[in-house]
Amino acid sequence: MATALAGGAVPAQNARADVRCPLSNAMNDDAVQAAAEALAQKVAGRALSVGEQRACEAELSELRLAWKRNPSAFSPDLLGMLKRIASSLATGAVAHKQSDPVAVLKECFGYDAFRPGQRAIIDTVLGGRDCIGVMPTGAGKSITYQIPARILGGLTLVISPLIALMKDQVDAMTEAGVRATYLNSSISLEERRTRVSELRAGRYELLYCAPEGLEASVGRALNELKLSLIAVDEAHCISHWGHDFRPAYRNLSGLKQRFPEVPVLALTATATPQVTADIVQQLGMRSPARYRGSFFRKNLRLHAYAKGDTLGCTAKEAALAVARSRPGQSGIVYCLSRKTVEATAEFLKKHGIRAGHYHAGLDVDMRSKVQDAFQNDEIDVVVATIAFGMGIDKSNVRFVVHHDMPRSVEGYYQELGRAGRDGLPSDCVLLYSWSEVKAYDRFADASDDDAQAERTRAQAREVFRMAEARSCRHAQLAQYFGEDLAACGTSCDVCQSFELFSKKPARLSAEERAQARAARKRERSESTPAAALDPDLSLFDRLRVLRKEIARERGVPPYVVFSDATLLEMASTRPKTNAQMLGISGVGPTKLEHYGERFLKALSE
């Protein structure tokens, strides 16, 4: 009972199935006694981190609720004990660990160091200042509000556009021992009431909700909660200039007036200045600090092939070749039309690839089935239109193939960005042709909106120009987003040749090749730890199987248990003790407690 009372320890299976009963309702005398004793021990026993202190406060609120419902379950002694606990928590008599962001990073997420930009944003927010962070997909924006949520106390409100994603986000937080919940239209009225009363009792550090929800009961409930931070994720949705404008996002403009003292953190991966300016204005942010990360993601290997003779095979065959080069690994193949999506998925399946397909023409059930199968590693490849991806947080996508030329550079960057969020090497393959530029032209010709038609034509040409250019692909993309970047030397097919297909276009002169080799050598000397690992791959596969088993038991996607990067490090360094396990990036105390032993056992076999 005592563990069930700890806010972070709501069993994940329950969180998954959305059944949660108010614990305070169900407590009998013994349970109350046990819970109070466990709490007293925690408060007296050792130094508490900020998060632990909040968890204790939440447990105390639970007990308070239980007392209100059933005073007879509380003996005078017990009440005395609870009062002492309350006063030591309130007066700060409890010994404290530092509320150092680095400590929280390690304690919750098991990571040793911040990635570029994360610390700057966290410090700004902790200082109470508004901030806008523009960082590419996978850069690690979420941590910039999750860590302040723990340090600031009170409640951090996270506005996020995707209801489908909230559950996974909350599950991921719960697995890491962070107390999070969400309110949206997918939960029953009764469950909503329960959660709101738990929120009032201070049970959660993080609340996810959709912008639409702010007009409804969430909006009213906010008045009674102690808000410490408002994070607006995917903030480009607020802007007409963004690629996925959402009208309800405009309603967020009232938040700053309503909570003038609460800092607002806006996060987006969309880099154009128009979008940024719009976000700041729409959210009514006050002289926000701005942080702009680099758009260079060096673990993504960019390839581009003109369709036709140089490619030496059809686009479908190329997609198959990429999937075969990474057997059993996750990938996305983007196609322009629904028809091509279905035909390509059929083709891959016929050739033994575990593939599914996804487009907006399928019914909702079908779509979520495919999405879940992909998230849970039950199929490897999803062939999809660009309708697929916004709701995908999966960190181990190892390849993205553009079977057809994307409509814009921004779209291209957005879509390829879904690969390699865990930082491990991943392939992004662009297939393109001039005839597709002409197809976009025809599409534009049919439009009534002249300005839009002109944009369509220009955007398609820009993608084609980039694909054809013989300069570093990463540098070109960065340039497009206004960033100067030297040639990557290692991560694109212009700087280095890769063996993806048997027949390859020759791209570089001997001299250029020598330059690229030199750059590569420089790069290797500063290579990432993951690249330096020498994992036992059959052990890695066994760990993946165990991860899947645990994920199924807990009702969460496998990557939420541990990322591929974490498993690779385990397979490479083979930790034998709990302490060594904690040294692995991605293993924090909560995950260690829940499934560390099983992984240690697998590692020792």
Residues that bind ligand ATP (CB under 6 A): 111, 114-115, 118, 135, 137-143, 269, 395, 421-422, 563, 585
Stretch near Mg ion under the rule CB under 5 A, chosen from 134-142, 175-183, 440-448, 566-574:
134-142
Stretch near Zn ion under the rule CB under 5 A, chosen from 40-48, 154-162, 227-235, 483-491:
483-491
- Identify which of residues 114 and 208 has a Cβ nearer to ligand ATP in the complex: 114
- Identify which of residues 117 and 202 has a Cβ nearer to ligand ATP in the complex: 117
Residue 519 in contact with Zn ion, rule: CB under 5 A: no
CB 450 within 8 A of CB 468: no
Going by C-alpha positions, the residue among 424, 372, 431, 423 that lies closest to residue 401 is: 431
**Residue number with the shortest CB distance to Mg ion?**
141
What ranges make up the beta strands (E) of 124-283?
A: 131-134, 155-159, 180-183, 206-209, 227-232, 264-268
- Identify which of residues 198 and 564 has a Cβ nearer to ligand ATP in the complex: 564
Rounded to the nearest 5°, which phi and psi values hold at 20?
-140, 125
What part of residues 495-514 is at the interface with Zn ion (CB under 5 A)? 495
Q: How far is the CB of 238 from ligand ATP (least distance, A)?
A: 15
- Identify which of residues 140 and 202 has a Cβ nearer to ligand ATP in the complex: 140
- Identify which of residues 225 and 386 has a Cβ nearer to ligand ATP in the complex: 386
- Identify which of residues 353 and 492 has a Cβ nearer to Zn ion in the complex: 492
Secondary structure class of 561 (helix, strand, coil): helix
Whole-angstrom CA distances from 328 to 2, 30, 296, 377, 381 are 42, 50, 27, 9, 9
Going by C-alpha positions, the residue among 97, 194, 197, 112 that lies closest to residue 150 is: 97
Q: How far is the CB of 204 from Mg ion (least distance, A)?
A: 20
Q: How far is the CB of 490 from ligand ATP (least distance, A)?
A: 20
Size of the site for Mg ion (CB under 5 A): 1
Stretch near Mg ion under the rule CB under 5 A, chosen from 138-146, 203-211, 276-284, 563-571:
138-146
Pick the binder of Zn ion from 488, 543, 551, 567 (CB under 5 A): 488
Q: How far apart are CA 217 and CA 224, in angstroms?
A: 12
- The listed partner (ligand ATP, Zn ion, Mg ion, none) that binds 348, CB under 5 to 8 Å by sort, is none
Whole-angstrom CA distances from 508 to 299, 304, 493, 505, 597 are 22, 14, 9, 9, 51
Q: Which two tokens stand for residue 510?
A: 């001997």
Q: How far is the CB of 493 from Zn ion (least distance, A)?
A: 8
User: What Rg value do the Cα atoms of the chain yield, rounded?
Assistant: 25
Residue recorded with tokens 């199929």: 379
Stretch near Mg ion under the rule CB under 5 A, chosen from 140-148, 160-168, 471-479, 521-529:
140-148
Residue 477 in contact with Zn ion, rule: CB under 5 A: no
CB 167 within 8 A of CB 208: no
- Alpha helix locations (H) across 487-536? 510-525, 529-532
Stretch near Mg ion under the rule CB under 5 A, chosen from 30-38, 78-86, 133-141, 581-589:
133-141
Q: How far is the CB of 233 from ligand ATP (least distance, A)?
A: 7
- Identify which of residues 12 and 143 has a Cβ nearer to ligand ATP in the complex: 143
Q: How far is the CB of 137 from Mg ion (least distance, A)?
A: 7
Q: How far is the CB of 563 from ligand ATP (least distance, A)?
A: 5
- The listed partner (ligand ATP, Zn ion, Mg ion, none) that binds 203, CB under 5 to 8 Å by sort, is none
Q: How far apart are CA 32 and CA 55, in angstroms?
A: 17
**Long-range CB contact pairs, 93-102, < 8 A, 24+:** 94/43, 94/48, 94/53, 94/56, 95/46, 95/47, 95/48, 96/47, 96/48, 96/49, 96/50, 96/53, 97/47, 97/48, 97/49, 97/50, 97/52, 99/49, 99/50, 99/151, 101/126, 101/147, 101/151
Q: How far is the CB of 18 from Zn ion (least distance, A)?
A: 46
Q: How far is the CB of 342 from ligand ATP (least distance, A)?
A: 27
Angle between helices 597-604 and 537-554 (to 10 degrees): 150
Residue 472 in contact with Zn ion, rule: CB under 5 A: yes
Residues in touch with Mg ion (CB under 5 A) = 141
